[in-house]
Amino acid sequence: MHNTSALSSDNLSSGRNSRYIFVTGGVSSSLGKGIISASLAKLLQARGYNVTIQKLDPYINVDPGTLNPYEHGECYVTVDGAETDLDLGHYERFLNVCTTQSNNITTGRIYQSVINKERRGEYLGKTVQIIPHITDEIKRCVQILGSENEFDFVITEIGGTVGDIESLPYVEAVRQMKWECPDDTIVIHLTLIPYLSAAGELKTKPTQHSVKQLLELGVQPDILVCRTEHELNAGIRSKLARFCNVAPDSVIQSIDADTIYDVPLLMKDEKLDEVVLSKLGVNLECVPPANLDKWNNFINRYKNPERTVKIGLIGKYVELKDSYKSIAEALDHAGANLKTGIELDWIHSEQINEINITDKLGHLDGILVAPGFGSRGIDGKLSAIKYARTNNIPFFGICLGMQCAVVEFARNVLGLKEAHSSEIKEYTPHPVIDLMTEQKSITNMGGTMRLGAYPCDLKEGSKAREIYGVESVEERHRHRYEFNEVYREQFEEAGMIATGINPVSGLVEIVEIPDHRYFLASQFHPEYASTVIAPHPLFISFIGACIENAK
């Protein structure tokens, strides 16, 4: 990933600071604030601006790292080791720019910071209150992101829905920022225009009430983005503009799209970026049009594949597909790169056994075993890996998927029938996956967790070295347990080779079986680094192997 260079300051008015765009939601959750934020950022970036996106989450958890994927989808990890909301994955995939811990702020972090300051005496004996102390901390987290990184625009998505009690301090902070720096701050309100099939018409009343709630809190939205299943006609737009105190050209239609990747193009057609820039005082004649050539090329490849491959994603949270959002998107990126459609079969690992495994997996061109924590579904993952290994089906394991590949090989090739991970079976006689005590000396660990980007040296002559085309890479981690070095010689003599090694700790990062059609597993999470413009090479190589297997 790379940072996009900013335009000259003349285009934002010389000497001006970052501009702040807040995105709130109304009527319903899950309307797509993250996708709208990422789409707007993409359009501004395509005009040459330096843009970042931030998520303010109203829950009291300090970060999503302890949340069950069924509750909140996947936990996304940044290069600096922050466990964050999955929306940051959208931000990075759209912008091809890395985010950091500063891009995801929770109520838990806000209160933790304020309480720590109070304990240190930084408030000089003042009574600590929501206003000004909590709202000041929220504003500080927003503004420092722009000032320290010299972003032209900071787009801040506020989680939840206007009217939620948890969101009130955030909305108040937005109100204060609009009052304190009105020329540099605007608010986009994303809302729903429901269609009543019985009446055969779209209804604007929910949006009117949502905007009224915002107005009661002192915030006038500058732009309405309206999610809808049907086109908004001029009459509806005019009605919304009149009742919600916005200009008619500031009522933006966000109609349901075939894919999330269509949304930037739809927003461009609606001139969302032009409206935003105009409201922030930018002379559009001084700004180049958005260059979306690479994006359009991706869309064309994605929508017009020359072939299709069937891939089984073996996981334990497959009922909620957002639990593996980054993996699914990385497969799509790689598929588009190879002009190949991805038919993804979501297979619950608890439903796989030795009796039904051929029915479950026999139709697949490739098998991917997904990450996770805990013992549930482990036996199904082991069976799937054995099936891929013994039937010469392309296999890709990620994090726990690699650890399961090691356990399966130990049991069925090395003959260590009771081999296991000490995470799952604490007193196994053969802990081929174990918690290494030396890990605790590594910085940025989060206790025993290895989080964020770590270096990996690639063995000369290996498949991994061929795929990456370089000697060393950095990839993101989120795990505790490691390949047990005590068993490495046995594994390599039997045909499973450690081809990626951390140069500092000596920990195994990648294993391969060279004699297999394609059998590669990584301890790290390559899916976090895959973007629309830069698909991850490991996913490209895996899809390539699946294409060959399908012939």
Nearest to 316 by CA among 360, 370, 359: 370
pLDDT of residue 253: 94
pLDDT of residue 410: 97
Structure tokens at 33: 């604030």
CB 235 within 8 A of CB 8: no
Helices (H), 413-451: none
**Active-site residue (options: 423, 525, 536, 546):** 525
Distances (CA, A) of 179 to 88, 186, 190, 223: 28, 11, 21, 17
Q: What would you report as the CA-atom Rg of the chain, rounded to the nearest whole angstrom?
A: 25
Please tell me the pTM assigned to this model.
0.90
Query: How far apart, in Å, do the first and last CA atoms of the chain sit?
Result: 34
Is 525 a residue of the active site? yes
pLDDT of residue 424: 87
Nearest to 23 by CA among 171, 243, 181: 171
pLDDT of residue 442: 44
**Active-site residue (options: 98, 141, 244, 399):** 399
pLDDT of residue 208: 93
- The H-or-E segment that residue 451 falls in is strand 450-458
DSSP state at residue 74: P
pLDDT of residue 48: 94
SS3 of residue 153 by DSSP: strand
CB 389 within 8 A of CB 513: yes
Is 479 a residue of the active site? no
Is 92 a residue of the active site? no
- How high is the mean pLDDT of the chain? 90
Q: What one-character-per-residue DSSP string does 8-43 give? A: PGGGG-TT---EEEEEEE-SSS-S-HHHHHHHHHHH
Buried b (16+ CB within 10 A) or exposed e, 18-50: bbbbbbbbbbeeebbbbbbbbbbbbbbbbbbbb
pLDDT beneath 50: ranges in the chain: 1-15, 439-446
Mark residue 306 as left, alpha or beta (left: phi above 0; alpha: psi -120 to 50; beta: remaining).
Answer: alpha
pLDDT of residue 14: 37
pLDDT of residue 6: 34
DSSP state at residue 289: P
**Active-site residue (options: 423, 482, 509, 527):** 527
